[in-house]
Each structure stands twice: as C-alpha cells, then as structure tokens.
Structure 1
Amino acid sequence: MAEVYIIGEITSAKDFPIQSLFCKWNLHCGSNWKLISGKAEGQTQVTSSLFENTCRWTFPIDVHLVTTGLQGWPKIYIQVYHLDWLGRCHLFGYGFVTIPTTTGSHILHCYTWRPFGNIKERFVQYFLGGGPQLKYPDLIFSTNDRYKLNTEAMGVVTFDLNVVFRNFHKFGIEYK
C-alpha cells in the first residue's frame, strides 16, 4: 500500500478579535485511507497574547496513513475557540486545509470563518458571548451546501507540515 507521513505542527493563530484561543483539530480522510499511527484529532493548549495579534501554539502533529487510492485525500479540519474571563468557550471559527500533494516542507494558512447569525443572535453574542454554531460540522466539506451559509471571516491559523510519500511509485503515481 502507498503510505503518507504527515509530521509538523499547528504553529499560530492571528487576526482573531480576541487573543485567548485554543484549537480543536481533526484529520478527515476518505474511505480508501487508514490511520496506522498517530492521533487523528487533538486540541491545543489555551494561549493568550496581550501585546501582539498572534497566539503561538506549536502543537505537534505526527500521522502515518496508508491508502489504496487517491480519492478522499486527507484534510485537517479545525475549530478555533475563545476562552473568556469566566472560563466559557466561544466558537471563533471553522476552517480546513488540504494536506499538500507534494513531498517536502509546507507552510499552510487556514482562513477561518463562522456563521453570521441574525440580528437577535448578534445582539446576544455581543453582550453574553457565544453565537451561532453549525449543527452538522461535516457541512464544511460539502461544497454545495457550504456556499449557502451566511458567514463572516475570522482569523488565520498557520500550519508547518512536512509530507513524506512511500511506495507511491509501485502504484504508478509519480511525485516530485
């Protein structure tokens, strides 16, 4: 079987309205893919940045996958949350990045967004926190349904990933 190694880290988040953030991540693959080692999901620590517009996490990712076909190429799905002064978690954004299809070192920028509620939800969000969330987060991967959502742009999460392929040439796949 062809193998893919993904080694790297979630390095930082920037341009979010408030800088007391943590990130939940999940590796999303098609049915042809199987996780051999590593964790397919995780959560960073809460990082607060008072003097700059960037939260630095450096949270490790180390995954080994095997595949029988290229359909369903892996993606990393993220949810960024803000921790307020009362210890409550508020969703600040959804996003995903596709794992690069070339070997080597890659810096990826994941642009996040969140649902933009109606006027009542915006009012409650401003004074009490919280806000609208997706009932079915898998909607993010459905291109037809995702564009029907009313959303607002949030910050950017940066990944620093190294991708290694093994045995792809045995299946007639050439890569650089």
Structure 2
Amino acid sequence: MTANPSVFLLMVNGQIEGANFPEYDDLYCKYCFVYGHDWAPTSGLEEGISQITSKSRDSQQHFVWNFPIEITFKSTNPFGWPQIVVSVYGPDAFGNDVVRGYGAAHIPLTPGHWLMGRRPEFTDPKVVAQGEGREVTRVRSQGFVTLSFNILTKDMKKLGYDTTSTDAQPSGFIVSGMGYTS
C-alpha cells in the first residue's frame, strides 16, 4: 500500500535557444525563476547567465545560445505556478553592458507565446513577473527570445488536478524594450 502524496513535482528542462534583436550584437542573457510561497526548488538551478554570442552573418541575423535550463519544483497546490524571467544584455556605444530587454513566461504545460517587457534596467529583474508598479511603464518591442521546454509532472492527478496530456512542445516569448511614463 502506498501513501497518498502530499506534494506534486514539476520538472522542467529545456533551453534558451536564441534570439532576434536586429539592432544589436554581442548579446548574452540571464534567467531566473519566480514562484509562489507554496513552491520550493528541489534540484537544478534557479538562475543562470549565458555566454556572449554574436548574431549570425546571414540575412536572419539570429543569436544562438542553446543555454540549458533544468529545475525541479515541489508544491502542494498550483497557485504561484513558476515563471521564468529572461533579461538580455549587450554593450552600449561605450562598451558598458546595458539591458536590451526583459521578458517573462509561466512555465507551460501546453505550448504558447507570452509577451511582456521593460526598459531602463530594474534593480531586481523579477519585477517583470509581478504586477505591482508596472502600470507606470510603456513598452517597445526590441526583439524576441525563443525557449524550448520539456515538462514532466508527478502526482498532480493523485492530488486531484487535471493532468490532461500534452506533447512537450517548444514555447517562446517576446522580449521587449521598456520606458517609464512621466
């Protein structure tokens, strides 16, 4: 006889595949996860920083990072479902690293796209995944980042949550520029 589970697991692996930022070159990205109080990482990395890459010299001018993401969470309920926040940086005219865009997306169980953005750099990039204070910002598209995820859950059905099966599919979101309104 097996005991009834009190938590479920969400396992995420994938990668930040690349980006298109037509106006820039020599970019890198940082990522971090934002999640609710009932969630706790059990393995993997909550944040990371990629290598710098130059855009391809063909007509697509695509950046390729293929930067791996792997993390497992446990939770007692889906409230506060994890989000990934991606910040893209590159050099300005003086060689200083400056933010080129921010984006956030909920970790998917189904494929999809999500749009969100900002522009002068935030002290804490996790603010991209939060609502408070965002009403005073305006966004301008700078480019987009493509992520792919493989998602596996364990014990959600045993806890009474609908676990309609979906195939693991690539998912992406747009990273936008931002500015403050006066």
What interval of TM-score do these two structures reach, taking the shorter chain for normalisation?
Answer: 0.7 to 0.9
Counterpart of 1:20 in structure 2 is 26
Counterpart of 1:37 in structure 2 is 43
Counterpart of 1:48 in structure 2 is 54
Deviations 1:2-40 (A, max 9, x none): 001101100001134112110000011111111110000
Q: Within 1, Cα distance between the matches of 2:142 and 2:93? A: 20
AA aligned to 2:103 is: G
| TM-score for both structures, normalised by structure 2 | 0.77
RMSD: 2.1
- How far residue 90 of structure 1 moved from its aligned partner, in angstroms, is 1.1
Distance 1:6 1:158, change over 3 A: same
Q: Which structure 2 segments of 5+ residues have no match?
A: 1-6, 165-182
Q: Please give the residue correspondences for 1:68-87 in structure 2 after superposition, counting only pairs within 5 Å.
A: 68-84=76-92, 87=95
| TM-score for both structures, normalised by structure 1 | 0.79
| Mapped contact 2:14–2:69 kept (Cα < 8 A) | yes
Counterpart of 2:154 in structure 1 is 166
- The count of corresponding residues between Structure 1 and Structure 2 is 156
Identify the structure with the greater helix proportion.
1
Q: Which structure 1 segments of 5+ residues have no match?
A: 116-131
| Mapped contact 2:22–2:61 kept (Cα < 8 A) | yes
- How far residue 145 of structure 1 moved from its aligned partner, in angstroms, is 2.7
Identity of aligned residues (%): 29
AA aligned to 1:64 is: T
Partner secondary structure for residue 100 of structure 1: coil
Q: Within 2, Cα distance between the matches of 1:162 and 1:6? A: 6
Q: Within 2, Cα distance between the matches of 1:110 and 1:87? A: 31
Distance 1:81 1:7, change over 3 A: same
Q: Within 2, Cα distance between the matches of 1:16 and 1:160? A: 21
Match of 1:11 among 11, 17, 21: 17
